[in-house]
Amino acid sequence: MTAPTTADLLALDRAAQDLLFRAARTANTFTDEPVTDAQVAAIHDLIRYGPTAYNGQPLRVLLLRSPESRARLLPYVSSSNRAKTASAPLVAVLAADVDFHERLPELYPHRPQARDWLADRAARVEQARFNATLQIGYLIVGVRAAGLAAGPMAGFDTAGVQREFFPDGRHEVLLLLNLGHPGPHTGPTRLPRLATGEVIRTLEG
């Protein structure tokens, strides 16, 4: 926790600061309480307003709820992530739609030609990955806004998950995300954060 003066410089009230950032933790255990489809829809309805280049919104989310769907994922998850992935009420596979540009005439109607600027697939993959990753940042905040804990996991066989769940070749899998009500926290206490002076500097002159 920081001095009140720093928190007071923000327009966001202190309870919301705690909910989204200061008191929020990446969960590694979850209670049995389910995450409903209505909660997921409410989270998306909030974070879909976050900005993306050309308003392209390339993030796509595949929810694994049933034991059968979860069993298809587990072989690709690193051993240290397997128990929490098996026990989380909901697991989301987060991917970028590489062909997001097809929707731009609708999503960016004042410059419909933006679709053609993205005709090159390699450049488009980079755009899709970057903007979907920004949206994952918004999504993690949104999960917390719903009073849930998020458990992002990068330790998995990306190519395997992509083959298993997105065999269409138009998606790039980026991250797995466990969602649920947090159980007792295991593992280290709050890890240290870099000081502002280590992250941000002003160019002199």
**192: how many CB neighbours lie within 10 A of its CB?**
5
Of 37 and 120, CB closest to a second copy: 37
Nearest Cα neighbor of 35 from 186, 152, 143, 176 is 143
Cβ at position 185, least distance to a second copy in Å: 13
Token reading at 100: 């997001």
Cβ at position 191, least distance to a second copy in Å: 4
Of 74 and 108, CB closest to a second copy: 108
Cβ at position 32, least distance to a second copy in Å: 19
Of 62 and 125, CB closest to a second copy: 62
State how far the Cα of 169 lies from the Cα of 108, in Å rounded to an integer: 25
Of 33 and 45, CB closest to a second copy: 45
How far lies 190's CA from each of 21, 115, 129, 179, in Å?
Answer: 12, 44, 29, 19
> Exposure string (b/e) for 102-133, b if CB count within 10 Å is 16 or more?
ebbeebbeeeeebbeebeeeeebeebbbebbe
Cβ at position 76, least distance to a second copy in Å: 14
Cβ at position 99, least distance to a second copy in Å: 13
| End-to-end CA separation in angstroms for the chain | 34
| 9 in Cβ contact with 196 (< 8 Å) | no
| 101 in Cβ contact with 113 (< 8 Å) | no
Of 82 and 130, CB closest to a second copy: 130
Cβ at position 130, least distance to a second copy in Å: 6
Of 69 and 87, CB closest to a second copy: 69
